[in-house]
Amino acid sequence: MRGLSQRVQAMKPSATVAVNAKALELRRRGVDLVALTAGEPDFDTPEHVKEAARRALAQGKTKYAPPAGIPELREALAEKFRRENGLQVTPEETIVTVGGSRPSSTSSRPFWTRGMRSSSSRPTG
């Protein structure tokens, strides 16, 4: 492909996205299945979460959150961890992200040097 870097040309589609697309297609055809590929729950968003989202939209909370997450949410999570899990963490020790891939990559990146390889486990079977 002319004009694209070798790195871009060497990119392969995400296996997770491809398998998830297949699962969605099977579900569309009526196959009853639980897709564990994309890390999404197999149930609808709870009503109280939907209502909180509607309130946030009505309050104009439509901008990017701070990098570590919304402070009030981090405070609530630290309290939840204390109350329900017996963990003593502060809001400053708690971060909120939209998924697991980005923080895993970001937190391990300082340890990588050019030429190093990494791998991740995949389910078998």
Q: What is the pLDDT of residues 42-96, one digit of tens each?
A: 789 999 999 999 999 999 999 999 988 999 999 999 999 999 999 999 999 998 8
Assign 125 a pLDDT band (cuts: 50, 70, 90): very low
Nearest-5° angle of CA 89, CA 83, CA 54?
90
Of 115, 107, 113, the C-alpha closest to 67 is 107
The residue ranking higher by pLDDT, 52 or 15, is 52
Distance of CA 9 to the CA centre of its chain: 26
- The ranges assigned to domains in the chain are 17-63, 66-109
**Mean pLDDT value across the chain:** 84
Using only C-alpha atoms, the chain has a radius of gyration, in whole angstroms, of 20
pLDDT of residue 119: 59
CA dihedral 44, 47, 48, 51 (to 10 degrees): 110
Assign 12 a pLDDT band (cuts: 50, 70, 90): confident
The residue ranking higher by pLDDT, 119 or 116, is 116
pLDDT of residue 99: 74
